[in-house]
Structure 1
Amino acid sequence: MSDLALPATISAAPPRRRRVRLPPLVIFAIGWLSLMLLTAFAADLVAPYPYTALDLRNRLSPPVFMGGTWLHPLGTDELGRDVLSRLIVSIRMSLLIAFGATAIGAILGVTLGFLAAHFRGAAEQAVLALVDFQASMPFLILALAVLAFFGNSLPLFICLLGLHGWERYARIARGLAVSASSQGYAAAVVQLGASPWRVYTRHVLPNIASTLIVSMTLAFPEIILLESGLSFLGLGVQPPLTSLGNMVGYGREYLTRAPWILLAPSCVIVLTTLSVSLLGDWLRDRLDPTLR
């Protein structure tokens, strides 16, 4: 009897939870993004010089790995400004623009998607028409027209970048909200007398948050690249402010004489967008129940 009961006892033991092993590229992405966030928050503390300080005696000084001195580890630009200090402040500015624009696009898209899912009919058709119009309009042309007509300021620039990609959030939010409305939990909450605001914010939104978060991580590098491109063309962040794209734009004139001016911000742009993309792909695989 004891021999027969032993397998049943073993099979009744609760299974051990499997530890999640992070791939090496994901570990690198998390480490790099943590470094960028820490640099952005402590930019004023870790920058060795004010980013606008001039040192004309050391203008176009090379970095340490090209024969320069530790006085300016990453060299100086055409006005003698320290490249490392400008890079640190540029990281903070670019991340601020990317986070702000991503949040604006997500809030706008989710709100319109929920409105389309709730009211249906004419409201849904109007939202879908706006989505199709936004998807068919080249965003660069729209950005050029807005900046040329209204001028350039940092709040306007962030809001303009926030209009990029909102239609993807609207489609996701509408589709998932319509699917949730047909399920039992949403109908039960409505029968209990909950307001539409409570239904969508307290019950529908938490159930679709994982999909929206993954979409935001995939859209984040697009915002960084778009900001860098517009700043490179002189339509983004304006002096005396600086950003990663702004540094690349000014450094292109000294590509043959002082390549380090644009080498540092270009590497940061590539590594940051790569890290966000790697982290977004990993989150998509982890949060998608069909891939488990």
Structure 2
Amino acid sequence: MSGIALPIGLVDGRKRRRRWPLLVLAAMAWLGLMLGIAVLADAVAPYAYTALDLRNRLAAPGATWLHPLGTDELGRDVLSRLIFSIRMSLLIAFGATIIGALIGTALGVLAAHFRGFVEQVVMALVDFSASLPFLILALAVLAFFGNSLTLFICLLGLHAWERYARIARGLVISAGAQGYAAAVRQLGASPWRIYGRHVLPNIASTLIVSMTLAFPEIILLESGLSFLGLGVQPPETSLGAMVGYGREYLTRAPWILLSPAVVIVLTTFSVSVLGDWLRDRLDPTLH
């Protein structure tokens, strides 16, 4: 077997398929860096995010070696606050994305499996959720129940859950009409086995793409709510909260706002790039 030579075109084709795009590698490296910073925030941050240095208020980046990214209006180190903000924003985004995906996918599968009255109820909830302005819902919930991190994550998890429900329902109905699902059903497999072992793995790529689309949306939504003072409350900090605090010093100290804004842009872009690549790799119809 070792003496068989493959055609040059076939070998080159295999090499091209194995080569990863540079943009995907850069996105993975950036996301890995963000995850590493989030996990090791306590170890890598030079100061506590609430530590004050009143002698160096509004110090520009590079003005002093003690604060490489400068300081804010209270003399707090921007680099340290940025590190802890990355941890908080990723925690909120990951938690809310997973909650929304689980709720939407579960309801979509239930609607596709039972059909009839159950499907009508689920789709009515989907239409109601899609027609309700999320900011109004967030304002009402936070005003009535107060603000806490757990409540905030669960509230953001309700954002765009109807997207997963619609996608999961359509894909499960389509998969159920195909031959492999019917064959497994004829063999006596339970619904749990049909959906868990055969249907969900085949629709996972589309759901993953939806999650990668919702992840940056939740980061931006958290940033917007924190910008309005409805998100993460002091003394905690997040990327959106840093942008909100820095808007009043945009002309005098733009570095307060620019650092978290750049991180938000690069993180959301990296997640989108990685999600598109995963979709191409996981979708069996593209092979």
Amino acid at match of 2:45: A
Structure 2 CA distance, aligned partners of 1:224 and 1:14?
44
1:100 aligns to 2:95 (yes or no): yes
Report what 1:28 is aligned to: 26
Identity percentage over the alignment?
Answer: 80
187-196 vs 150-159, greater mean Cα deviation: 187-196
Structure 1 CA distance, aligned partners of 2:273 and 2:195?
30
185-194 vs 11-20, greater mean Cα deviation: 11-20
Structure 1 CA distance, aligned partners of 2:74 and 2:146?
27
Structure 2 CA distance, aligned partners of 1:196 and 1:290?
24
Amino acid at match of 1:44: D
Please give the per-residue CA displacement for 1:118-149, whole angstroms capped at 9, x wherever unaligned. Answer: 10001001111111112222212221121112
Structure 2 CA distance, aligned partners of 1:240 and 1:115?
42
Mapping of residues 12-161 of structure 1, within 5 Å: 15-16=10-11, 17-18=14-15, 19-64=17-62, 68-161=63-156
Structure 2 CA distance, aligned partners of 1:290 and 1:194?
25
Structure 1 CA distance, aligned partners of 2:251 and 2:209?
40
Amino acid at match of 1:25: L
Give 1:245 deviation, angstroms: 0.3
Structure 2 CA distance, aligned partners of 1:189 and 1:25?
40
Mapping of residues 102-251 of structure 1, within 5 Å: 102-251=97-246
Report what 1:279 is aligned to: 274
Q: Tell me, what secondary structure is at the counterpart of 2:18?
A: coil
Amino acid at match of 1:37: L
Structure 2 CA distance, aligned partners of 1:207 and 1:29?
25
- TM-score, normalising length: structure 1: 0.90
Give 1:227 deviation, angstroms: 0.4
Superposed structure 1 runs of 4+ greater than 6 Å apart? 9-14
- TM-score, normalising length: structure 2: 0.91
Structure 1 CA distance, aligned partners of 2:71 and 2:8?
65
Please give the per-residue CA displacement for 1:232-278, whole angstroms capped at 9, x wherever unaligned. Answer: 00000011111000011111111122111111111111111111122
Distance 1:144 1:131, change over 3 A: same
Give 1:189 deviation, angstroms: 2.8
Structure 2 CA distance, aligned partners of 1:122 and 1:14?
56
Gaps of 5+ in 1: 1-8
Structure 2 CA distance, aligned partners of 1:152 and 1:90?
18
Structure 2 CA distance, aligned partners of 1:78 and 1:239?
15
Structure 2 CA distance, aligned partners of 1:184 and 1:218?
31
Say how many residue pairs are matched.
281
Give the alignment's Cα RMSD to 1 decimal.
Answer: 2.1
Structure 1 CA distance, aligned partners of 2:24 and 2:132?
34
Structure 2 CA distance, aligned partners of 1:206 and 1:277?
21
Give 1:192 deviation, angstroms: 3.3
Give 1:282 deviation, angstroms: 2.8
Give 1:12 deviation, angstroms: 9.8
Give 1:202 deviation, angstroms: 2.1
Amino acid at match of 1:148: A
Give 1:22 deviation, angstroms: 2.9
